[in-house]
Amino acid sequence: MGQETMAQDSWNTQSSGNAYPADHQGSPVPPPQYGTPPTYPPPPPMGTGATPVYVAYATPLGPHSQVMQCPHCHQHISTQVEYHEGVLTWLLAFLLFFFLCWICCFIPFCVDDCKDVCHKCPHCHHIIGEYKRI
């Protein structure tokens, strides 16, 4: 019984019904700390000099040479086109081989309209893009 009265004396029950220990009367108990927050490196310094910004617009490439600005060397150019075999070329060759005449199956490899087109810059020789038939 003596221990119960000692326990009641150490806790002070306020009129609102909240119980606080006697040594913390009127002040809330701070939440426990779980470690220090992570530290992050400072951001890189901002340059004071202006840098040029190049805006590249996507030009739809077709089967023929096109006038545009090269995204690599930024020259105003007319693209250089190179034709190479693509899916349509091989598909037509197989169809000709199986259904019509096996001698004619090489015709798609000689016709540029059956081939894919690669657009290159004539100045820096970088590939700008490709036009695929299929």
The DSSP bridge pattern shows strands 116-120 and 127-131 to be antiparallel
The residue ranges of every structural domain in the chain are 67-131
d(CA 71, CA 61): 14
DSSP 84-100: E--HHHHHHHHHIIIII
Place of tokens 């077709």: 62
Q: What is the pTM of this model?
A: 0.56
pLDDT tens digits along 73-113:
999 999 999 999 999 999 999 999 998 778 889 999 999 99
Question: What is the reported pLDDT for 39?
Answer: 74
Q: Which amino acid is located at 53 in the chain?
A: V
Are residues 81 and 65 in contact, defined by beta-carbon separation less than 8 angstroms?
yes
SS3 66: coil
